[in-house]
Structure 1
Amino acid sequence: MALSVPDQVTSINTTIHLDSSGDLRLQVGPEQQNYIVCSKTMERTSTVWKKMLSGGFAESKPMNTNTEWVVTLPEDMPKPMLIVLNIIHSRFSLVPEKLTVLELYHILVLTEKYDITEMTRPWARQWMSCVRNTNNPLLMWIAWGLGDATMFVVTADMLVMRCTVDTDGRLVTPKGWYLDDARFDALRPHDILDHIAALRLQLLTTILSPLDLLISVLKKAKYDCCSLCAMTMLGSLIISAAKAGLDPIPRSGSEFRGSVKELVEKLDGLSVTFPHKNKKTVDPLPTLRSLTQEAIKNKQQTVPAVYLNRLVKHSKKVGLLQ
């Protein structure tokens, strides 16, 4: 399922003047939205822009004073760029107080690219508060951009619990798009998706292990009264699992493409039948459920310590952590 990524600059052919004395024309995005800006303001704001505009590159000011200074930025998105340019040109009344998840993500992609994320400090908390409760997977990327360690961990844990995999083993988010979608390569540690995939697989296998052991024990029961009990329990367990969508019952995490959350719900719905209703037979399912919750509680830490340290340091720069 594709994730829609709208860009909200409506008048592509309109030139927007951010400085009445602007000496530089930026042409942003594939449609080349035009912005007239102050080159000195951009150079003072960002070392990346300073190097680009005065470092002798193709984007540097033309030697011919009769030639308009034009810099094309085809890979940048016009609407997020306009918000960034409004910030650096002190047009603060035009900086929105509320943003959608996608809008905030694309703004942070630009501020990270041009090394100016600190300039979002006056708005960072307000922006984050607007998206914090959306449960959108992109919150992990946004949290990385702003240094919100708590949100990063919460979202990463949510993805471990709720991501599924397709037939090629690619992680699919609860919203139906691929977690490794190339459009969202920015603003995330390069191997965090590997951590999430590995932990999901490990957790699924740990949860399924006691069930696999129970089935093995029931299959090996001796041929006496206990054998009848075992066969009845095993048969009812297999039928119950099939009704829950576990047919056949997976023996390891690699055999289950659903989410950890989905597996837990299916296992919680299992039941067994005992042939001797008056016999005090121990029901193994409460123990299985207890082991499941214990596995989730004691799972390996999703986010490596090195990432947490980076998040805390970044948060102090941006202002989320005082």
Structure 2
Amino acid sequence: MSECEPRIKFDPRGDLTLRVGPPDELTSNLFLVCSRTLARTSPVFDRMLYGSFAEAKPVDDKDWVVDLPNDDPASLTTFIRMTHGSFTEVPKTMTIDRLYALTTLTHYYDATQVLIPWIDPWLASVEDETRDSNVPPLKLLWIAWEFGRKALFKATARRILFECPASLLEPYLPPEGLQMPPDVIEKITEIRHQTIEAFLRVFRDMVAMLLVVDESPRWCRHASYMGHHRCESMILGSMTFCLARASLWPLPEADEVEESVVELYTKLTNLVIHDIGRQSPKGAEDHSECNPVRHLMEEMKKILNEVPDPITDMHWKQMDLQYKRLNPSDNSSCS
């Protein structure tokens, strides 16, 4: 086999050789294909191969060879098998990584419609994978977007919002990182910051109430002028001790918090705050009712229940269009 002879002949009568992958791998990924099949399948390939681009067929009868150094060989292999009728060789299941790579490739070539017969079983297999994974599936967000699957997109976006730590989100903000739907990661990051700031504000406000001067309204239900500082001091000391044990004292700024929304919520709702309780003799005031835990938990739950949706009307409209494009006979949008 010569250096330029195709390693994989997807079409034995093909007229085009694709050299795929990084420059140091081009000679090991040579695919013999039918140029007309690719052109019928993809408007990008059509313009590339039959337009005025450098990839067009040579006029001097030289071998027609096109370099695709930026394409993933495994994904392009799957794509060509579909377009060239080798359906039995198309994988029946997909991992998230493989499906993400394939959909980014078909998106680039404007040919995602080729995947239609395999979309549902592939989505079933990657959703099973995400259920067993402790890592929020950022790549699944793109997959749901490319397939116009609104319910999957919304569920994945909210999971990322609640479960992603800061370090996992930051690399995927523009201009670096994974290919993502427009403005989604930015919106998730914004809402995550607002939610964490709201959590921390609950505790900042509580600290402020426990430190008020004698003339101001006091947190202790039995407070009197210059009296019962012991109750508030006990609560303040217990709360700051617990926050320190959770590495949250002094209370940080929201952009300093690495934990996910769920992790921070769990830490704050698991604080055990002590009070001085009922003092002797019997019948004296019961300061256990001054314990702020119930108040703090109610405020935290209220914040969690009011977290806004990171998905905008623009996202819904775009996914409706994509779903209808991939399912032209279905008059409804995929929920």
TM-score grouping bracket, smaller chain normalisation: 0.7 to 0.9
Greater alpha carbon shift after TM alignment, 148-157 vs 124-133: 148-157
Q: 1:299 to 1:227 in 2, by over 3 A?
A: same
Per the alignment, residue 242 of structure 2 pairs with: 240
Residue by residue over 1:101-153, the C-alpha shift from the partner in whole angstroms, topping out at 9 and shown as x without a partner, is 11101110111001111111100011111011415221111111111112212
Q: Is the CA contact 1:245–1:266 (under 8 Å) kept in the aligned structure 2?
A: no
Per the alignment, residue 47 of structure 1 pairs with: 43
Secondary structure of the corresponding residue to residue 228 of structure 2: helix
The aligned runs of 1:228-307 (5 Å cut-off) are 228-250=230-252, 252-278=253-279, 279-280=286-287, 281-307=289-315
Which amino acid counterpart does residue 267 of structure 2 have in structure 1?
A: K
| TM-score of the pair, normalised by structure 1 | 0.87
The aligned runs of 1:25-104 (5 Å cut-off) are 25-30=17-22, 31-32=25-26, 33-65=29-61, 67-104=62-99
Secondary structure of the corresponding residue to residue 225 of structure 1: coil
Deviation at 1:267, TM superposition (A): 0.6
Per the alignment, residue 171 of structure 2 pairs with: 178
Per the alignment, residue 18 of structure 1 pairs with: 10
Deviation at 1:261, TM superposition (A): 1.2
Q: 1:13 to 1:80 in 2, by over 3 A?
A: farther
Per the alignment, residue 199 of structure 1 pairs with: 191
Distance 1:321 1:193 in 2: 22
Which amino acid counterpart does residue 160 of structure 1 have in structure 2?
A: L
Distance 2:7 2:262 in 1: 50
Q: 1:13 to 1:160 in 2, by over 3 A?
A: farther
Per the alignment, residue 8 of structure 1 pairs with: none
Q: Is the CA contact 1:199–1:300 (under 8 Å) kept in the aligned structure 2?
A: yes
Distance 1:115 1:307 in 2: 19
Q: Is the CA contact 1:24–1:39 (under 8 Å) kept in the aligned structure 2?
A: yes
Per the alignment, residue 117 of structure 2 pairs with: 122
- 2:212 counterpart of 1:220: yes
Q: Is the CA contact 2:6–2:32 (under 8 Å) kept in the aligned structure 1?
A: no
Secondary structure of the corresponding residue to residue 290 of structure 2: coil
Secondary structure of the corresponding residue to residue 32 of structure 2: strand
Gapped runs of 5+ residues in structure 2?
131-135, 215-224, 280-285, 328-332
- 2:210 counterpart of 1:209: no
Which amino acid counterpart does residue 71 of structure 1 have in structure 2?
A: V
Which amino acid counterpart does residue 288 of structure 1 have in structure 2?
A: L
Deviation at 1:316, TM superposition (A): 2.9
Secondary structure of the corresponding residue to residue 138 of structure 2: coil
Q: 1:13 to 1:220 in 2, by over 3 A?
A: farther
Residue by residue over 1:57-108, the C-alpha shift from the partner in whole angstroms, topping out at 9 and shown as x without a partner, is 110000012x100000000010000000011111111111101111101110
Q: 1:184 to 1:15 in 2, by over 3 A?
A: farther
The aligned runs of 1:147-158 (5 Å cut-off) are 147-158=148-159
Distance 1:59 1:204 in 2: 52
Q: Is the CA contact 2:149–2:319 (under 8 Å) kept in the aligned structure 1?
A: yes
Per the alignment, residue 145 of structure 1 pairs with: 146
Distance 2:115 2:302 in 1: 41
Q: Aligned residues: percent identity?
A: 29
Secondary structure of the corresponding residue to residue 229 of structure 2: helix
Q: 1:181 to 1:97 in 2, by over 3 A?
A: farther
Deviation at 1:182, TM superposition (A): 6.9
Deviation at 1:260, TM superposition (A): 1.1
Deviation at 1:181, TM superposition (A): 8.7
Deviation at 1:221, TM superposition (A): 4.9
Q: Please, what is the CA RMSD of the aligned residues?
A: 2.2
Deviation at 1:265, TM superposition (A): 1.0
Q: Is the CA contact 1:26–1:70 (under 8 Å) kept in the aligned structure 2?
A: yes
Distance 1:158 1:138 in 2: 12
Per the alignment, residue 181 of structure 2 pairs with: 189
Per the alignment, residue 7 of structure 1 pairs with: none
